[in-house]
């Protein structure tokens, strides 16, 4: 079973700053099987990035994904007030589908 | 535009069962997986299982095997998740999500339902 480790657990930043979130897999996975989600309090998760680097419909271009093998990154350039949330990575290369533990991006 | 609407909150006793629904509208129901993901209070996301109607394929998280059944009714474009022998640590918000890629059981999810809170307490 693949384990996804997200770091840091919490990222304290100011609006306008750049956020860099890491998702490390315990074994190599193909990039097409890696996605990122945003979740705000009291809301369902929202798909941001799929296939490790493709933005989902309606996602602003300040969100970008990169990486391959075991190391994947979600970057947010120029944090907007609505970007403070929890972010999860997900792998679905095989069963079981796994989510990382999440990174909380909070207002500094 | 695809939308997923889930059934309302449930309060159950330990040992009982719960059946949740996830009704989809817009798009093609049978070609896209419906996945179920739960989130315990203050915790992260946990994949529960999924169904791909076109192939009648299902898969479940190993820790829930034997207690979980996921089905899909193509006539009503509705997916169901039934969990039996409920325990207090099954207390969570249960979300359904539509698969992004057609014909794949394992996929990312977009969009998601609004979630259903299941509380298991004596």
Question: Nearest residue of A to residue B5 by CA position?
Answer: A44
Distances (CA, A) of B47 to A10, A21, A60, B60, B63: 22, 21, 27, 8, 11
pLDDT digits (tens, 9 = 90+) for B93-104: 999 999 999 999
B76 pLDDT band, cuts 50/70/90, is very high
**Pick from B47, B50, B107: CB nearest A98:** B47
pLDDT of residue B27: 87
Integer Cα distance of B55 and A43 in angstroms: 31
- Report strand pairing: A103-107 vs B3-6: unpaired
Q: Where are the alpha helices (DSSP H) in chain A?
A: none
**% pLDDT > 90, chain A:** 98
If you compute the radius of gyration of chain B from its CA atoms, what whole number of angstroms results?
Answer: 13
Structure tokens at B34: 């419906």
Helix (H/G/I), strand (E/B), else coil: B67 = coil
Integer Cα distance of B52 and B65 in angstroms: 18
Helix (H/G/I), strand (E/B), else coil: A78 = coil
pLDDT digits (tens, 9 = 90+) for A82-100: 999 999 999 999 899 999 9
- Mean pLDDT (whole number) for B54-70: 96
- Mean pLDDT (whole number) for A45-66: 98
- Mean pLDDT (whole number) for B6-10: 98
Structure tokens at B112: 């998601």
Neighbours of A94 (CB within 10 A): 12
Integer Cα distance of A81 and A65 in angstroms: 20
Q: Which of residues 8-67 of A touch B (CB under 8 A)?
A: 33, 35, 37, 39, 44-47, 50, 56-57
Integer Cα distance of B101 and B109 in angstroms: 9
Q: What is the DSSP letter of A55?
A: E
B24 pLDDT band, cuts 50/70/90, is very high
Structure tokens at A51: 């296939």
């Amino acid at each position: 079973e693949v384990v996804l480790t997200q770091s840091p657990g919490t990222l304290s930043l100011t609006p306008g700053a750049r956020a860099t979130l890491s998702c490390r897999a315990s074994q190599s996975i193909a990039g097409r099987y890696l996605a990122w989600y945003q979740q705000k309090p009291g809301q369902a998760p929202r798909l941001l990035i799929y296939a490790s680097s493709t933005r989902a419909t309606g996602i602003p271009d300040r969100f970008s994904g990169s990486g391959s093998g075991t190391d994947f990154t979600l970057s947010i350039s120029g944090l907007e007030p609505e970007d403070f949330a929890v972010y999860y990575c997900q792998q679905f290369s095989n069963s079981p589908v796994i989510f990382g533990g999440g990174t909380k991006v909070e207002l500094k | 535009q695809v939308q997923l609407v889930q059934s309302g909150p449930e309060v159950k006793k330990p040992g009982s069962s719960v059946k949740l629904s996830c009704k989809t509208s817009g798009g093609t129901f049978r070609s896209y997986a419906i996945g179920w993901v739960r989130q315990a209070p203050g915790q992260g996301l946990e994949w529960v299982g999924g169904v791909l109607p076109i192939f009648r394929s299902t898969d479940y998280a190993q820790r829930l095997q034997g207690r979980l059944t996921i089905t899909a009714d193509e006539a009503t474009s509705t997916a169901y998740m039934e969990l039996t022998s409920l325990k207090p640590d099954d207390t969570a918000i249960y979300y359904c999500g539509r698969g992004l890629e057609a014909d794949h059981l394992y996929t990312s999810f977009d969009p998601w339902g609004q979630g259903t809170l299941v509380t298991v307490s004596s």
